[in-house]
Structure 1
Amino acid sequence: MHKELPVDQNIEERSNELINSFRSSFWIDERKWFVRCFTHDQTIHLETLSEITDYVKQKLPDSWKSTYPYDDHHQFYNTIRKFDHYEFFNQPIPSYIRLYNINYLRLKFPINDEFWSIVPNLNKLKSLAISSYDDSFQSQFQTLLDQAPHLTQLSFHQCEPLPLQISLFKYTNASIRQLNLKFYNHQFTEEECMTLSHSSLGVQCEILSIQVKNRQCIIILVKNMINLRALNIKFEHEEDFQEIQWILGDELLIENTSETVEIIQWLKDHLPLTCLISIDPQSVNGIRIWI
């Protein structure tokens, strides 16, 4: 639970009132229900000690309180499983903080030296999101991947359009099965799709999300990614894709335009009959293919 207060209210007083309301014998002795309260700017957060925390703030809490007598900062940070703001690690962090149980992490390169003292290992990391990446960080990124033996999902988020970074095709990590390049801000060409298909991560990839230049890229990915089970494609330049509404098995529910009929028929003619194709309802010009 969280609540944002008006700027004219004293957040420290309100947080004290809130945490004290859970210090009664009813909560502590009868129910044995302990809570933790912390603040960020003008927002109060309240959680039970049994909750697993998703940390989405870019800085440490301004204040921290608990009704459990043995609760402390070590216990609090030990419950955090998800860090969804890359700026968190770009601040002075007390030396006693250690993050051992992260399973989702968003990072931006370069990673400062302090990171590895805060995060001693990445043994529990399952999903990694990289923001604003370029080739100059190849060595540092590979070192990070080497420390994540159970990583299954890797995604890239790029705000500024850049030429494709060639190092993307060179990374290795034996456990990765999902690649998300949909928000990389780059449309992969046929040649780039072929290179991706034969890269280490491409060979072992089972679920791929990606932006591509044209329909031929789909054929390249499906035919050459030998372990691919699901493909999530986004097109930018083929206007005929804008008219597709829904494909379900052999039933076609679309706008009556020759362009739409042509592209759907083209996909059916060139993809294996075992492929199930549908529109991605959460993406403009997006297509999902199950292989």
Structure 2
Amino acid sequence: MSTTSLYRTRNKEETNVTILEHLPNEILLILFEYFNGIDLLQTFYDLNSHLNLLLYKQFQLYCFNFKSISKCTFDLICQQHLPFIANKVISLAFSDYRDTPKQMSLFFSYIPSLHRFTQLQSLTLSNIHSYDTVVQFLNECHYLYNLIHLTFYFYSFLTSSVDLQLIIDKIWSLPKLTYCHFDVRIERQPNFCLPTIISSSLKYLYLPHSKLQWNQVNRLFHYVPELKHLSILNEPSVVDNYILLPPPGLIKLNFYCPDKSIISKLDILLQNMSNLYYLHIRLKHSLINGYKWEQIIRIHLPKLKIFRLRMNKAFFNNPNIQLQRQVDKLINSFRSSFWINERQWFFRCFTWKKIIVLHSLCSTYNYHGCITPDFWQSTSPHDNQQQFHNEITSIDSETFLNELVSLNICLSNIDHLTIKLPINEKIWSIFSNFNRLHSLTVLSHTDTFQFELQILLDRAPHLRILRLGQDGSLPLHLSLFNYRNTSVRELNLIGCDYCFNEEECILFSHSSLGVQCEVLFIEVNNLLQQLKDRLSLTYVIIYNP
């Protein structure tokens, strides 16, 4: 860059800072609220003493989301900034995901206690694998007397035993906790246990993988008397005709039930839910007709305004059943005046591989799998097969695209796509755009198909994750070093079944994808440190053969 160009750049930056300086402090503080704390400090800190003073002394609403952040940035925030603004932080979100491993333990190595986070209102702990880390955070939570929002995601524990009762009771002891999302999956242990402490503050409770029988749900109600929203996974029980006795304030219920006998229990289960405003039910192994649902809603749910329903049942062991007739009969039961005119709730019913599925027509249902219905019906005059396919968001099957080629449809909402090279030319007419594509998996990669794959990459402006796979018997294809896409941040080359040597690692580090890559999955020959030094990686997963 020439001296003149450098001067102009600096002069422009100084002009922008000068413009900011002339804004009233009140405007600047409002502007700061639109930034994540990380971006806020990286953008405005150290521009001048005035902005530093605002950031450290006057701004009181810091929100830090450390998911997918680089370790360098995480270290900087925790060591240089958080000690000075801890009492101004209202939200913290941590993640021990593969691109930010042991982030929570690292946090405590910098900041041993949460006692200065007195204004913290929201805490998110994602992908926790360490029971000790969980206990450490919960032990520190007694300092967080303003905490109202807690989100937990445990996917596995490395220890053989977890004191779940201790975890639950510590959460229930938080004096102002209003919202709790508790998503726990522990190997060979229950995913939830009933608390022994009553929480008078909890109003929103989400237990998406906590299996509870209906009698346990009733006991749970005792420990959350102010509950308004509940989301649970029901476990089949031998207890029949169990009557739920919810708190009077319960207005929103969301549950998934795999119990085949739920048909005979629904009337009794819902008879005390007269204050429900929102009901979302997912039933597996059961199909309940519209006449029955209408009766339940009219008698027991007079205040219901939002009804979300999804039911499915497989008929693999009944080869003689006429699925189309069953679909016609089921969908017709949802065509009464109650559904169409009075409530204006519409439904779609279809068959797929000996399975009948019925669900509400609403934006909450997207088909993450590869589904091409064999037969379908809808109660909405505006619904059609194109609309059905607009709701497909993920294609994981390399053969699914071949099924779509024969159909005159267009897909526009795909966020994950798996393709096998060569690309069928009709793909460009099937996909109207790739603007939402976030993750792409490419199979059978070779140099021969570089041009057509690059065309796809050029049409995916928001692609973040790219996985490449090739036949293990083939040498490395050098086209890998020539691909371009400015948004890709995670690259997975394990599917190439190839071990990179030092020369290839150097070549990759200078490639377009290598320069911008933050998370890398690769097989190398003991080159971990060299690879990290050459690439600006958040995280690298090395497989040594």
Structure 2 equivalent of residue 221 of structure 1: 531
Stretch deviating more after TM superposition (151-160 or 112-121): 151-160
Structure 2 equivalent of residue 273 of structure 1: none
Match of 2:424 among 86, 102, 112: 112
**For residues 97-153 of structure 1, what are the alpha-carbon distances to aligned partners after superposition, in whole Å with 9 as ceiling and x for unaligned?**
111222211111111221111112212211111122111100110111111111111
Matched, 1:233 2:545: no
Match of 1:61 among 368, 373, 394: 373
**For residues 182-202 of structure 1, what are the alpha-carbon distances to aligned partners after superposition, in whole Å with 9 as ceiling and x for unaligned?**
233223233322222221101
In the superposition, relative to structure 1, how do residues 196 and 8 fare at CA in structure 2: closer, same or farther (>3 Å)? farther
Tell me how far 1:26 sits from its aligned partner: 4.2
* Structure label with greater radius of gyration: 2
Matched, 1:37 2:349: yes
Task: Tell me, in whole angstroms, the C-alpha distance in 1 between the residues paired with 2:544 and 2:379.
Answer: 53
Structure 2 equivalent of residue 243 of structure 1: none
Counterpart amino acid of residue 406 in structure 2: I
Match of 1:5 among 306, 311, 315: 315
Task: Tell me, in whole angstroms, the C-alpha distance in 1 between the residues paired with 2:510 and 2:358.
Answer: 48
Structure 2 equivalent of residue 189 of structure 1: 501
Q: Give the unaligned 5+ runs of structure 1.
A: 237-291
In the TM superposition, 1:1-291 aligns within 5 A as 1-6=311-316, 7-50=319-362, 51-57=364-370, 60-91=372-403, 92-95=405-408, 97-158=409-470, 160-212=472-524, 214-215=525-526, 217-226=527-536, 228-236=537-545
Task: Tell me, in whole angstroms, the C-alpha distance in 1 between the residues paired with 2:314 and 2:359.
Answer: 15
Give the aligned length.
231
Q: Is the contact made by 2:369 and 2:392 (CA closer than 8 Å) also made in structure 1? A: no
Tell me how far 1:211 sits from its aligned partner: 2.5
RMSD: 2.2
**For residues 19-47 of structure 1, what are the alpha-carbon distances to aligned partners after superposition, in whole Å with 9 as ceiling and x for unaligned?**
33433444444543322222223122333
In the superposition, relative to structure 1, how do residues 190 and 116 fare at CA in structure 2: closer, same or farther (>3 Å)? same
Q: Is the contact made by 2:390 and 2:412 (CA closer than 8 Å) also made in structure 1? A: yes
> TM-score, normalized by length of structure 2?
0.40
Counterpart amino acid of residue 66 in structure 1: S
Runs of 4+ in 1 over 6 A off after TM superposition: none
> TM-score, normalized by length of structure 1?
0.71
Q: Give the unaligned 5+ runs of structure 2.
A: 1-310
Counterpart amino acid of residue 225 in structure 1: L
Q: Secondary structure at the match of 2:329?
A: helix
Structure 1 equivalent of residue 153 of structure 2: none
Task: Tell me, in whole angstroms, the C-alpha distance in 1 between the residues paired with 2:433 and 2:452.
Answer: 15
In the superposition, relative to structure 1, how do residues 169 and 70 fare at CA in structure 2: closer, same or farther (>3 Å)? same
Counterpart amino acid of residue 229 in structure 1: T
User: Higher strand fraction: Structure 1 or Structure 2?
Assistant: 1
User: Higher helix fraction: Structure 1 or Structure 2?
Assistant: 2
Q: Is the contact made by 2:446 and 2:470 (CA closer than 8 Å) also made in structure 1? A: no
Query: Relative contact order: is structure 1 or structure 2 higher (C-alpha 8 Å, sep ≥ 6)?
Result: 1
In the superposition, relative to structure 1, how do residues 224 and 69 fare at CA in structure 2: closer, same or farther (>3 Å)? same
Task: Tell me, in whole angstroms, the C-alpha distance in 1 between the residues paired with 2:365 and 2:542.
Answer: 33
Q: Is the contact made by 2:415 and 2:436 (CA closer than 8 Å) also made in structure 1? A: yes
Q: Is the contact made by 2:481 and 2:512 (CA closer than 8 Å) also made in structure 1? A: yes
Q: Is the contact made by 1:194 and 1:220 (CA closer than 8 Å) also made in structure 2? A: no
Q: Is the contact made by 2:522 and 2:543 (CA closer than 8 Å) also made in structure 1? A: yes
Report sequence identity in percent.
45
Counterpart amino acid of residue 458 in structure 2: D
